[in-house]
Amino acid sequence: MATHAISMKLLEKPAKRTDISLDDEVVRNDLNLFSIAYTEFIMDVEEEFGVGIDLDQIDIPMMRVGAMFDRLEQLVMLG
């Protein structure tokens, strides 16, 4: 779960807020994290964990923050 804590810190910058909940929707009502900001967040995750992440491996449109972090953790572990 350390991946979640680090990812949460990385997400605060593009989301422009610090009160992010694992139940927040990434794209729609809650964070409104669209293409450029989302891509920058993924690039920050890649840099932090030293991995490459194919954006097609993450189904983002209706995803909540917690589910996104779970998927990112899987991808980081696969390296």
Q: Where are the domains of the chain?
A: 2-78
**Global pTM?**
0.81
Per-residue confidence (pLDDT) for residue 6, from 0 to 100? 92
Assign 3-class secondary structure to 14-74.
Answer: HHCCCCCCCCCECCCCCCCCCHHHHHHHHHHHHHHHCCCCCHHHCCCCCCEHHHHHHHHHH
Question: Quick one: what percent of the chain has pLDDT higher than 90?
Answer: 28
Tell me the per-residue pLDDT of 42-71, one tens digit each, with 9 for 90 and over: 899 999 999 988 888 777 656 889 988 898
Is 16 in contact with 30 (CB distance < 8 Å)?
A: no
2-78 CATH choice from 3.40.50.10260, 1.10.1200.10, 3.40.50.720, 1.10.3720.10:
1.10.1200.10
Distance CA(51)–CA(63), nearest Å, equals: 21
- 11 pLDDT higher than 70: yes
